Structure formats: C-alpha cells, structure tokens
Amino acid sequence: MLFALDIDDGWPPVASEGVLCERTGTDFKLVIAPFFIKGLAYGDVFKAELDPVNQHVFDFEVVEESGHSLVWMLNNSDLDVTALKSQILALGCSLEAFEQFSLFAIDVPPSVDKIAINGLVDSAEEAGFDLAFPVWRHDVERI
C-alpha cells in the first residue's frame, strides 16, 4: 500500500512510502514498521481510502491501536550502530534499515519493558543519534 507523504523543507526525501498491509474486512493492518508515516505503528488497524487517480493513501484513521511504539533513528553523524542494533534486538524490538538515508525504523512491541526501552533511547540520543517518536506508547508510569 502506498502512502502519500507531506514533504517539509526537503524531508522526507521521498514523496510516498510503500508498506506491507493486510486486509482485515474493510480495514487494513500494518505489518511492518514504516519509515515516514506518522501516527501508524506495526500492528495498528486503520481505515483508509485509496485515491482513485494514483491509488495512494492520503488520510487514514487508526481504529485499533496495537500497543506497539515506533522510533525513527537517523544516523547523521556516521556513528557505529552495531552495538546499538544488538541492544535493540536483545530487548525484543525489530529494526528496519533504509541505508541510503542512514535511517532506521524501530518497532517496539508492547511486551518490551518500558524502563529498558526508555533507557535505551536516552543512551542513543546521548551517543549522537537523532531520534523521533511518531508513535510512542511506552511511557514510564510515574509514582
């Protein structure tokens, strides 16, 4: 399924993103972590109509949240990402890479420990990686 993207000041570097989705009745379920689609995480069920001209999705509505969070990580400083990738995978997250733009989409399942993932993203930011949280459902509960 192709999603049309709003480009602001040259970002994202593409006009659309193709992602894998499954049909669930009249709705769709996202089955991969996206790189540029804000507000949609792995496993979310959403409603969308395809544009009749180019078959792109311009708007969607999440009808069932999966509990997954999504983190975008940009490696603008050409840092070694090997150790961080291992830590991400060890927590139970999955990672998609868009090497051409040094961009990573990190899927954080609901089973991942909130404190551990918060600590990991804090250390990634401190190391110099640029992070964005287009869907964040792993807030640490404060006492």
Nearest of 72, 139, 70, 73 to residue 108 by alpha carbon: 70
140: Cβ contacts below 8 Å, ≥ 6 apart: 114, 115, 118
Of the candidates 80, 83, 125, 132, the residue with the CA atom closest to the CA atom of residue 106: 132
In this predicted model, what pLDDT tens digit does every residue of 89-137 receive, in sequence order?
999 999 999 999 999 999 999 999 999 999 999 999 999 999 999 999 9
- Architecture of the domain delimited by 69-135: 2-Layer Sandwich (3.30)
Whether a cis peptide bond, with omega within 30° of 0, leads into 12 is yes
pLDDT tens figures, 22-54: 999 999 999 999 999 999 999 999 999 999 999
pLDDT on residue 140: 57
Q: Which residue has the tokens 């551990």?
A: 116
Cβ 69 vs Cβ 41: under 8 Å = yes
Element (H, E) at 115: helix 114-127
Question: Which sequence spans correspond to the domains of the chain?
Answer: 2-64, 69-135
The pLDDT value recorded for residue 142 is 42
From residue 14, alpha-carbon distances to 40, 84, 98, 122 in Å are 18, 26, 12, 28
